[in-house]
Structure 1
Amino acid sequence: MNVLIVYYSMYGHIHRMAEAVAEGVREVPGAEAVLRRVPETLPPDVLEKMGAVEPQKAFAHIPVATVDELASADAIIFGTPTRFGNMCGQMRQFLDATGGLWVKGSLVGKAAGVFTSSATQHGGQESTILTFHTFLLHQGMVIVGLPYTFAGQTRIDEITGGSPYGASTIAGGQGERLPSENDLAGARFQGRHVAQIAAKLNG
């Protein structure tokens, strides 16, 4: 069973979460996790000014996703940073190229989930995932979130990401905060949960 993890990461936070999601997927017998990045849309000089060139070298080895790979996957988990309470432009542009899949119904019935990050604790994580869900519904996919059986999202002893809609992390205004162990645990849980649901859907 092929679980595709498609993400965009500018400074590495979503990449680290994607790795944790993949770890969770691999805990399910017979499930293979495949990591893919969506194409970059910003020119190199802009990325340089944003201080993103060096951080992106850490995951430059991850292949760039193609739309056709979505159709061949048994389940898909998407990762995007928050941009004003919505997905980033790079992810939006990639998804806008999936019209051919929609016409054919290629994604109908596939399990799908979303994880995210934001600079601040209340920076639009939930709205980013919820607005992403509209794409999944238009494609006929089966939305899988992060249930409260992941007890880490009820913690009040530390600042943490995670909601019933999906795993998340808080990056900090300067990207100085890396995903906490609890954030990563939520990502692993969601990866495992999506893979388990996909296994049931695929019989």
Structure 2
Amino acid sequence: MSSYASQPISQQRESGSQRSGEQRPIASSTVSQNNEPERRQSSRSTETASSRHHRSDRRRPVIFVIYYSMYGHIERMAKEVCDGVESTGCECRLFQIAETLPAEVLAKMHAKEKNSQIPIIKAEQLPEADGIIFGIPTRFGSTPTQVRALFDQCGGHWMSDALFGKPVGVFFSTGSIGGGQETTALTCVTFFAHLGMIFVPLGYKNKRLQSNDEVHGGSAYGAGTLAGDGSRQPSELELDLAKSQGHQFAKVVKKLAR
């Protein structure tokens, strides 16, 4: 009996085909082509899983809310700004600016005791943020000495471009409507421009800013409150504007941080 006859049927067919000159490589190529869609689908699934893993590992943008508050108005606004920031999924870190006045002077000014639970910001920490919002009470229509002292410590950041391209915003408080609601913000823009920061205003996204039903602070430059003689606290409308500013600002930071 021949060796061919002793082989299994499948091997006989294969041997017969080879003897008849059938091009087996072509059949193999056909099978490969038929499996191509499956391989592509598998590749897409792997890429999709990798992409999801990459997105899940992506760091949340970090936003610093940094304020100076002598009577508590800006501190109250700052907490609403933080709520707005966190509503977008960004990480918010709250800081206060160091006091420069001696205790005896603050006592004569009836200043509120500082919140010891909120850390003091250091100039060298600023580059750690993806975006920064400053809360500033006005001083003769401009920024007070305490805030200027922090700004003046940023010479190294100016030289190294450490803050270049970072979004920045401002919210504020004044004693009255004409007490510097807009000039306080405008006097900060020169500092932001020199460091190459991107000023993000409040704008009029929240239409309550245009309300004339009640006296309130705030402008297109940022959320604001009216302190009066110190006894008036931020109104519900002013707090809503502060929260809106935090929310809208954080959305800009998230887009730039992609």
Greater RCO between the two (CA within 8 Å, min separation 6)? 1
Structure holding more helix per residue: 2
Q: Do structure 1's residue 7 and structure 2's residue 67 form an aligned pair?
A: yes
Name which of 14, 26, 39 aligns with 2:98.
Answer: 39
Point out 4+ residue stretches in structure 1 off by more than 4 angstroms: none
Q: CA offset at residue 193 of structure 1?
A: 1.1
The whole-number CA distance in structure 2 between the counterparts of 1:134 and 1:164 is 17
Offset at 1:56? 2.3
Instruction: List runs of 5+ in structure 1 lacking aligned partners.
Output: none
- Equivalence for 1:165: 221
Partner SS for 1:120:
coil
Of 129, 132, 144 in structure 1, the residue corresponding to residue 188 of structure 2 is 132
Q: Please state whether the residue corresponding to 2:113 is helix, strand or coil.
A: helix
C-alpha displacement at 1:147, in angstroms? 1.6
- RMSD (Å), alpha carbons: 0.8
* TM-score computed with the length of structure 1 as normaliser: 0.95
- Tell me by how many angstroms 1:122 deviates: 1.1
Identity rate of aligned residues, in percent? Answer: 46
The residue that corresponds to 1:179 in the other structure is 234
Correspondent of 2:145 among 75, 89, 92 = 89
- What is the CA–CA distance in structure 2 between the aligned matches of 1:150 and 1:138, rounded to whole Å? 29
Deviations 1:138-170 (A, max 9, x none): 111111111211111100000011111111000
Q: In the alignment, which residue of structure 2 is the partner of 1:19?
A: 79
Aligned residue runs from structure 1 range 53-202, under 5 A: 55-57=112-114, 59-172=115-228, 174-202=229-257
Residue aligning to 2:28:
none
